[in-house]
């Protein structure tokens, strides 16, 4: 869990305020030049961690510590780190921005990771200061003035010189506050979903999950961190009027409504709206290709289409014959996504139900009881009957998912073989990367409404207002409250 720190120190000598843009042991006062010792960082970081446990995403708190010779004040915000140059989410802590390659500081202090501290402050420097020369009032010897200290000593006569106000202000312009980030353990009050939130759809993004669902009388978009579980941000969307489909395209979250042409865009970093566009056909489902284009299951044609980020139609595959090889029927001419071409009546029944782009870069397509894995050129890797555990074959009810190693996951519902009650049951289906054998994991009374796979290969299921986490073999390792 990350905290944004905006710090300043109040000087005990002149009462001036100076930004503290790094966890340094001493900070020169911008007003009088006195070095103010800051020896409270160990205790301060401990208090920050305790405060974070009580905070929700985007909440701010003000904290203060007495220094003897001044006061340290910190404004604390629970929020993930973002690049100070391009505002891209930093993701896993690294010294370079994943988008613009800006380099920032990354170090450990008192067991915590600190990201984005001002390098000049760490080095005890003041960048951009023009060195001036002042004459000693006693002996007229030259004295170099670089803005580091207001009280200087003449190298010739050893006399003490205090810089006049106008000189000091010129060489020691006030420092601007620059936030930096500290990573603390724990999930805080955001470790659970927002109270009353119920998933409709979800997708994994690195170690995080982006989901959409109902919150009270409105829809909400949320981002969850999974290491440890915690709410990163949430954004209300308005009254529910559609079945939502969510996907992530680079630094944006895409939100489409089933049977709607509208695709809404939100910032991945904080959920802020970024506008919308309309596709030429209604959306049933969508997934994002590694190249940034969108693979869309459309309505009413029941076809797969590929669009660029401006909504323009693009070639779907580089190799023809996809649907014929996938479901064993004829070869309707859908392979190049020409809008006026329709599938045959027999093929319409076998159109995909849900789509997912696996973390291995291959597309997963669900059609009733079948799950298929396809390369980006449309080549079929395998097509598996995932409903073998059911007397009637079962049917997939949520988006599938796949981890970095190709292991594919789906949720199927139906009457289990040998179950005399013939009640519908849900199972989590695990398909190895090479296809072949299917493992069915019984979910008891749970009926998941969303599935997402994170970068560690773990699969997350939402059920009511709770979450379950399974490892790469399908073993339950964690479950939160909820139905």
Position 352 scores a pLDDT of: 59
CA-closest candidate to residue 114, choices 26, 189, 179: 179
Instruction: Give the separation between CA 371 and CA 243, rounded to whole angstroms.
Output: 22
* Cα-to-chain-centroid distance, residue 121: 29
Token match 């009881």: residue? 369
Residue 190 per-residue DSSP state: G
Looking at residue 325, its pLDDT comes to 44
Together in a domain, 309 and 167: no
Same structural domain for residues 408 and 336?
Answer: yes
Is the backbone peptide bond immediately before 231 cis, with ω within 30 degrees of 0?
A: no
205 secondary structure, DSSP code: E
**Same domain for 350 and 225:** yes
Check: CB of residue 49 under 8 Å from CB of residue 184: yes
CB distance 316 to 308 below 8 Å: no
- Let me know whether 319 and 305 are in one domain: yes
Same domain for 322 and 394? yes
Q: What is the pLDDT of residue 228?
A: 66
Domain closes at, from 118, 149, 183: 183
| Contact assessment for residue 215 and residue 236, using Cβ atoms and an 8 Å cutoff | yes
Instruction: Clarify whether residues 135 and 123 are in a common domain.
Output: no
CB-neighbour burial class of residue 241 (10 A; exposed 0-12, middle 13-18, buried 19+): exposed
Kindly report the CATH number assigned to the domain that includes residue 284.
Answer: 2.120.10.30
Q: Are residues 123 and 248 in the same domain?
A: no
Q: How far apart are CA 465 and CA 483, in angstroms?
A: 6
Parallel, antiparallel, or unpaired for β 160-162 and 151-153?
antiparallel
DSSP conformation class of 44 = H
Residues 364 and 402 in one domain: yes
77 and 150, same domain (yes or no): no
Q: What is the mean pLDDT of each run of 10 residues along the chain (483 residues)?
A: 91 92 91 89 90 74 90 90 82 72 87 88 66 84 80 88 76 76 67 72 93 87 82 82 87 91 93 92 90 82 81 70 43 34 32 82 86 83 80 74 94 75 79 89 84 94 81 84 45
Locate tokens 């601007």: which residue?
176
The answer to whether residues 141 and 120 belong to one domain is no
What domain range is 338 assigned to?
Answer: 192-479
pLDDT of residue 186: 57
* Structural domain count of the chain: 3
Q: Is 263 exposed, middle or buried (0-12, 13-18, 19+ CB in 10 A)?
A: buried
Residues 85, 141: one domain?
no
CA distances from 401 to 1, 202, 267, 268, 411 (A): 26, 10, 23, 20, 10
- Residue 278 pLDDT: 93
What does the alpha-carbon distance between residue 202 and residue 199 come to, in Å, rounded to a whole number?
Answer: 7
Q: Does residue 220 sit in the same domain as residue 163?
A: no
The reported pLDDT for the residue numbered 98 is 78
Query: Rounded to an integer, what distance in angstroms lies between the CA atom of residue 474 and that of residue 424?
Result: 21
The count of other CB atoms within 10 Å of the CB of residue 277 is: 14
pLDDT of residue 324: 41
């Amino acid at each position: 869990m990350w905290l944004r720190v905006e710090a300043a120190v109040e000087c005990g000598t002149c009462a001036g305020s100076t930004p503290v843009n790094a966890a340094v042991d001493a900070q020169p006062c911008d007003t009088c030049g006195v070095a103010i010792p800051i020896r409270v960082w160990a205790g301060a970081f401990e208090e920050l961690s305790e405060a974070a446990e009580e905070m929700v995403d985007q909440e701010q708190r003000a904290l203060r510590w007495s220094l003897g010779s001044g006061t340290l004040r910190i404004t604390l915000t629970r929020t993930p780190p973002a690049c100070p140059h391009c505002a891209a989410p930093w993701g896993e802590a690294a010294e370079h921005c994943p988008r613009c390659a800006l380099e920032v500081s990354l170090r450990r202090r008192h067991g915590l990771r600190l990201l984005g501290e001002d390098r000049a402050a760490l080095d005890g420097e003041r960048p951009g200061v023009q060195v001036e020369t002042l004459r000693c009032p006693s002996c007229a010897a030259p004295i170099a003035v670089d803005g580091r200290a207001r009280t200087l000593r003449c190298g010739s006569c050893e006399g003490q010189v205090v810089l006049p106000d106008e000189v000091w202000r010129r060489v020691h312009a006030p420092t601007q506050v620059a936030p930096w980030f500290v990573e603390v353990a724990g999930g805080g009050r955001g470790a659970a979903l927002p109270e009353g939130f119920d998933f409709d759809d979800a997708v994994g993004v690195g170690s995080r999950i982006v989901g959409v669902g109902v919150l009270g009388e409105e829809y909400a978009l949320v981002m969850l961190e999974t290491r440890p579980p915690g709410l990163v941000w949430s954004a209300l969307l308005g009254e529910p009027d559609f079945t939502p489909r969510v996907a992530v395209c680079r630094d944006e979250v895409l939100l489409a409504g089933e049977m709607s042409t509208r695709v809404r865009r939100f910032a991945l970093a904080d959920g802020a709206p970024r506008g919308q566009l309309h596709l030429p056909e209604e959306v049933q489902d969508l997934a994002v290709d590694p190249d940034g284009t969108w693979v869309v299951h459309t309505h009413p044609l029941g076809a797969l289409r590929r669009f660029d980020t401006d909504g323009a139609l693009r070639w779907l595959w580089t190799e023809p014959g996809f649907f014929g090889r996938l479901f064993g029927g004829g070869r309707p001419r859908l392979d190049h996504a020409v809008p006026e071409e329709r599938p045959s009546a027999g093929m319409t029944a076998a159109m995909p139900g849900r789509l997912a782009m696996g973390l291995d870069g291959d597309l997963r397509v669900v059609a009733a009881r079948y799950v298929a894995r396809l390369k980006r050129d449309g080549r079929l890797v395998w097509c598996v009957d995932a409903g073998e555990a059911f007397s009637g074959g079962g049917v997939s009810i949520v988006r599938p998912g796949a981890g970095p190693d190709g292991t594919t996951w789906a949720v199927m519902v139906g009457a289990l073989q040998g179950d005399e009650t013939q009640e519908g049951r849900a199972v989590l289906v695990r398909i190895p990367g090479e296809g072949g054998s299917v493992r069915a994991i019984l979910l008891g009374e749970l009926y998941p409404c969303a599935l997402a796979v994170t970068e560690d290969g773990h699969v997350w299921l939402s059920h009511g207002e709770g979450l379950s986490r399974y490892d790469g073999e399908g073993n339950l390792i964690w479950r939160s409250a909820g139905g």
